[in-house]
Amino acid sequence: MPREPIKLPQRVESLSVLAADGRIDADLEPALDPADLRRLYRTMLASRRLDERALALQRQGRLGTYGPSRGQEAASLGVAYALGKDDWLVPTFRETAGLLWRGWPMQTWLLYWGGFEAGNVPPAGVHDLPIAVPIASQCQYGMGVAWGCKLRGEGRVCATFCGDGGTSEGDFHEALNFAGVYNLPLVTVIQNNHWAISIPRSRQTASQTLAQKALAYGMDGVQVDGNDILAMIVATREAVEKARTGGGPTLIEAVTYRMSMHTTADDPKKYRTEDEVKAWEPRDPLLRFRAYLHKKGLLDESTAGALDAEIAAEIDQAVRQYEQYRQDPAEFLRHMYAELTPELQAQQAELQAYLERKHAPTPAPVP
């Protein structure tokens, strides 16, 4: 009757490939097509610039409350890249880079933040769910989608995202538990950006890592340098391959940092120091990837400048389309049920009558 450590078949690993200064672990470096590397860089840059523009638009009163994704681009993009076209992605609201890779037009993304229903509609043929804001709800949706994939037996996989704060929600644990029991083709990615609004990661859990939570649900966990796009690609590819071939779910903790405010309704200076933010700046995923591409001879100053100009024009065009968009005010009633309930029908009729009154020509004054 000895006392001994329990040996678990699952593993918790840590993974990083590309150091902050652009040095690479050659044994782990994925063999990516140079055209793909360039496209990945372009998407990461587009995501960063779009994020900056969105912040400016919100400050000018031209966009709703906005949640920036600055600093978290690699964690999102690496996952999107590792998925197949027919796989599913379930985003939180910081997946700008991943959604651009999946083919979401910039103007659709702007419409989402502008509060329009049209911003919730994935482009044709893109198997993504709309952006979900309720914390860790994405885990449940992703688990359900993965279950559907398994039942249909088409070999498709679902990747779902949540934040470090999301790991304290029941939804997170219930989804992982279910995915483990039913051996679902699910990759759950925690974007550990160190903050849940003003709650630091250290107050979220006493666990040393978030990746180790995988063990409780009978799956492998991997803690990845989330600012290292190559490591994110390697880890997600392995998890996707395993899921696709019946090996079940994986939990990925992407260690990253929220370089901006939580949303435009937040002032992070109230709860974190400038020094902390500064310490993360050299680990910026965009700078690191750029250094890597420079070293490989895939990006020079003039190409980088041309790219910047191209992306700025693309964003200008998307902003124009967004601001010219006109929505039928009754649109919001149409998305909850396949058939309108009697109550919603009555509301729709009332709205219609109101709009007709509002737009009717003003009657001439009685002489």
Ligand X SMILES: Cc1ncc(C[n+]2csc(CCOP(=O)(O)OP(=O)(O)O)c2C)c(N)n1
Site for ligand X contains 196 (CB under 6 A): yes
DSSP-assigned letter for residue 255: E
Going residue by residue from 142 to 171, which x/- string records binding to Mg ion, judged by CB under 5 A?
Answer: ---------------------xxx------
| Residue 210 · residue 3 · CB < 8 Å | no
Mark residues 281-320: x for contact with ligand X by CB under 6 A, - for none.
----------------------------------------
Compare residues 16 and 167 and give the one whose CB is closer to Mg ion.
167
166 binds ligand X (CB under 6 A): yes
Nearer to ligand X, 83 or 261 (CB): 261
Residues 129-145, buried b or exposed e (16+ Cβ, 10 A)?
bebbeebbbbbbbbbbb
**Relative orientation angle of helices 137-152 and 170-181, to the nearest 10 degrees:** 20
Residue 196 found at the interface with Mg ion (CB under 5 A): yes
The binder of ligand X chosen from 47, 96, 160, 193 (CB under 6 A): 193
Q: What mask, x for binding ligand X by CB under 6 A, covers residues 63 to 82? A: --------------------
**Angle of CA points 140, 142, 147, to nearest 5°:** 95
Q: Which residue in the set 73, 87, 128, 164 belongs to the binding site for ligand X (CB under 6 A)? A: 164
Please identify, among the stretches 79-87, 129-137, 176-184, 358-366, the one whose residues bind ligand X according to the rule CB under 6 A.
129-137
Catalytic residues: 258, 262, 271
Residue number closest to ligand X, CB atom: 163
Query: Which lies closer to ligand X via its Cβ, residue 156 or residue 258?
Result: 258
* Contact window for ligand X (CB under 6 A) among 74-82, 100-108, 132-140, 142-150: 132-140
**Residues in CB range of 166: below 8 A, 6 or more apart:** 92, 135, 136, 138, 139, 172, 190, 196
**C-alpha triplet 155, 74, 315: angle, nearest 5°:** 100
With 0-12 CB in 10 A as exposed, 13-18 as middle and 19+ as buried, what is 232?
buried
Q: Encode burial over 288-303: b for 16+ CB neighbours within 10 A, e otherwise.
A: bbbbbbeeeeebeeee
State the binding partner of 71 from ligand X, Mg ion, none, CB within 5 to 8 A by kind: none
Alpha helices by DSSP H, 94-218: 96-102, 106-114, 137-152, 170-181, 201-204, 213-216
Count interface residues toward ligand X (CB under 6 A): 15
Query: Which positions lie near Mg ion, rule CB under 5 A?
Result: 163-165, 193, 196
Query: Which positions lie near ligand X, rule CB under 6 A?
Result: 94, 133-135, 163-166, 191, 193, 195-197, 258, 262
